[in-house]
Each structure stands twice: as structure tokens, then as C-alpha cells.
């Protein structure tokens, strides 16, 4: 029997991927405001930082959703996951060879095997998938007290040795270790809800986002950096991500169109962040930045990101069609 997807979570999954697109299309192009920009345009700079803070949560939310429902690893599941990745990677590479934009070479083969820093998320999620049976076994057998002790110990260790001091390198949260922590965090809060977070996720997330943004604004102006506040392993970013998850869980609804769009979320990441494609993605992001300002830029970049999402979804239908043929035969 096919799994029935909850469209409220699927909508959150879509928004999380658009947040990733924003980070790649705006964050990597514009970066954070400089001290001079903050001095002359404090409110505009604060607004930009608030957006960056909110959209930084996209990756964490994506993993928290997986933890909320749990990953149920299976042989067909791993085959589907690997097909998903390598079909798109090799299809993009072969297309660029055919149109004469690249040639068959070692670097291209490495990219098509996912061996590039840009695809850290793919390898991290694959590792989480592999480890999920062990994590699930712990969740099923641990007491509430044991679960609490593990999570508290994990976050105390991470916050001090990674986020604050960098003595242990979690690669700023670009890590399978953080993924496992987020996965277990979502499992815990589903099993053992905390009243304050359940009742006021919008208030807590809004206050936390504003707090992070003010700290970042101050630190950029006086120190020239964000003081680790906008890292995936930041405890405040994790708190906001968890609150967003709890906010969207409130009202379950079904919408086939949203579910259809969400089914290709992972493909949106694979396609747009492919090094061959990403060159064009950043090129058009720069063009929008160079030709529009203020409100017009906000509208144009939002439209651009939505178009990119839909284009990737339509491209992904080829992958879905072929996979359905394969599982239909076997």
C-alpha cells in the first residue's frame, strides 16, 4: 500500500529546498552586509540578515522531517536512493558532453560519482540512511531518561567542542554526525512533546531569529564576521529549525499538487547544484543583482528561484518515469 504523505510536511520540505536555493542564489552571490552597509543602511541590512538566518534553517529542517517520520531502510529503498542520485548526475554530464560544453574526463567522472564538496549533503544523507537502523533501534529500546541523556550530552559536546571552539571539526555542521543528532532530536520530540515548544513554536522561532539577527548585525559591524551564528550546528539555528517543524505539524492536510512538487525536492538540489549547471545558476543570480535593486530585486530573485524549482521538477519526471518502469519489471 503506497505511503500517504502529509502535505503540511511536504510543503515544509518544499520551502526548505527553496531556502537552500536562496542560500545558493543570494547568499553565495551577495553574502552578508559589510560594516559600511550596516552603518549606512541598518534596517535593510537587518532585513537581509533576518532572511539569511531564516533560510539557513533549510538543511536542518530537511533532516528533521526525515527524523520525524523515521527512515525505514530497505534494499529497494537504497537502490531507489542510489538510482535517484546517479541517474541525474550521469544524465547531466552526458547532456553537457553531447552539447559540447564539456568532454569525457576524470573531473567530470568524479562529479558524476558525487565526489565533489558541493554534494556533501548527498553523502551525508546516504550515511544517515545507512545508520538509520541503528538509530531506530536505540529509539525503540531506550527509556525517556536515556534518550534525554544522550541528546543533552550530544549537544553539550557539540556546542563546546565544535560550534564554540572548533576543537572537534564537524565542518560547521556539514556532517553526518550533525545529521544523526538532528534525526534523533526529531524522533525525541515526536515521542516526548514539550509543552512550551508545542504551543508557541511561532513565537519562539520569531524571537530566536530576531536575536540571532541582532547578534550577527552587531558582530558584522564590529568584528567583520557572524561569530558562528549562521552555522548549521548553531544551537539557536537548530532551535528555530525544530520550531518550524512543530509549527507545520499543527494542521495535517492533503494536496496532490504539493505532494507532487515535494517528491522532487532532492532532485532540485542535485540538479541546480551540479557544477555544470551551477555556473548558469550563479550567472543569472548575478545578473539579477546587477540589474535590480530593492523591492524589484526581491521580486525578481523570488520568481527566479521558483522557476528554477519548477524546471528541476519537470526534468525529474524523466527519472521518475524510468524508475517506475524498472520497478514494474522486477
Above 90 in pLDDT, residue 297? no
Continuous H helices in 41-119: 42-56, 58-69, 75-98, 106-112
pTM: 0.94
Above 70 in pLDDT, residue 294? yes
Q: Are 209 and 51 in contact (CB under 8 A)?
A: no
Question: For residue 243, which phi and psi values (nearest 5 degrees)?
Answer: -65, -40
Above 50 in pLDDT, residue 10? yes
Mean pLDDT of 232-237: 95
Rounded-to-integer distance, Cα 230 and Cα 55, Å: 10
Rounded-to-integer distance, Cα 34 and Cα 310, Å: 33
Distance between terminal CA atoms of the chain? 17
pLDDT score of 185: 98
Sign of CA dihedral 38, 305, 69, 163: negative
pLDDT score of 1: 46
CA angle 305, 14, 113 (to 5 degrees): 80
Mean pLDDT of 26-35: 83
Above 60 in pLDDT, residue 7? yes
Taking phi over 0 as left and psi of -120 to 50 as alpha, with beta for the rest, 142 belongs to: beta
Mean pLDDT, the chain, whole residue set: 93
- Beta carbons within 8 Å of 227's beta carbon, 6+ residues apart: 215, 216, 219
Quick one: cell of 290? 546587477
Amino acid at each position: 500500500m503506497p505511503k500517504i504523505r502529509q502535505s503540511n510536511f511536504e510543503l515544509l520540505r518544499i520551502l526548505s529546498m527553496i531556502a537552500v536555493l536562496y542560500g545558493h542564489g543570494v547568499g553565495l552571490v551577495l553574502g552578508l552586509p559589510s560594516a559600511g552597509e550596516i552603518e549606512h543602511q541598518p534596517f535593510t541590512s537587518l532585513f537581509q540578515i533576518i532572511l539569511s538566518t531564516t533560510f539557513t534553517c533549510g538543511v536542518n529542517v530537511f533532516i528533521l522531517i526525515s527524523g520525524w517520520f523515521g527512515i525505514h531502510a530497505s534494499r529497494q529503498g537504497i537502490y531507489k536512493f542510489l538510482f535517484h542520485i546517479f541517474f541525474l548526475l550521469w544524465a547531466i554530464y552526458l547532456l553537457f558532453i553531447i552539447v559540447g560544453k564539456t568532454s569525457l574526463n576524470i573531473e567530470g567522472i568524479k562529479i558524476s560519482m558525487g565526489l565533489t564538496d558541493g554534494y556533501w549533503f548527498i553523502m551525508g544523507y546516504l550515511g544517515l540512511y545507512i545508520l538509520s537502523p541503528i538509530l531506530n533501534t536505540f529509539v525503540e529500546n531506550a527509556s525517556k531518561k536515556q534518550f534525554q541523556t544522550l541528546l543533552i550530552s550530544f549537544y553539550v559536546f557539540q556546542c563546546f567542542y565544535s560550534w564554540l571552539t572548533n576543537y572537534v571539526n564537524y565542518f560547521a555542521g556539514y556532517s553526518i554526525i550533525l545529521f544523526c543528532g538532528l534525526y534523533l532530536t526529531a524522533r525525541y520530540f515526536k515521542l516526548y512533546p514539550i509543552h512550551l515548544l508545542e504551543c508557541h513554536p511561532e513565537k519562539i522561532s520569531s524571537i530566536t531569529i530576531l536575536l540571532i539577527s541582532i547578534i550577527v548585525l552587531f558582530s558584522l559591524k564590529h568584528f567583520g564576521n557572524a561569530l558562528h551564528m549562521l552555522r548549521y550546528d548553531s544551537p539557536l539555528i537548530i532551535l528555530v529549525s525544530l520550531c518550524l517543524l512543530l509549527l507545520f505539524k499543527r494542521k495535517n492536510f492533503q494536496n496532490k499538487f504539493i505532494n507532487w512538487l515535494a517528491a522532487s525536492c532532492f532532485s532540485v538540489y542535485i540538479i541546480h547544484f551540479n557544477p555544470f549547471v551551477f555556473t548558469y545558476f550563479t550567472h543569472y543570480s548575478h545578473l539579477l543583482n546587477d540589474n535590480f535593486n530593492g523591492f524589484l530585486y526581491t521580486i525578481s530573485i523570488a520568481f527566479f528561484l521558483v522557476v528554477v524549482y519548477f524546471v528541476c521538477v519537470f526534468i525529474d519526471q524523466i527519472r521518475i518515469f524510468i524508475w517506475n518502469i524498472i520497478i514494474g519489471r522486477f
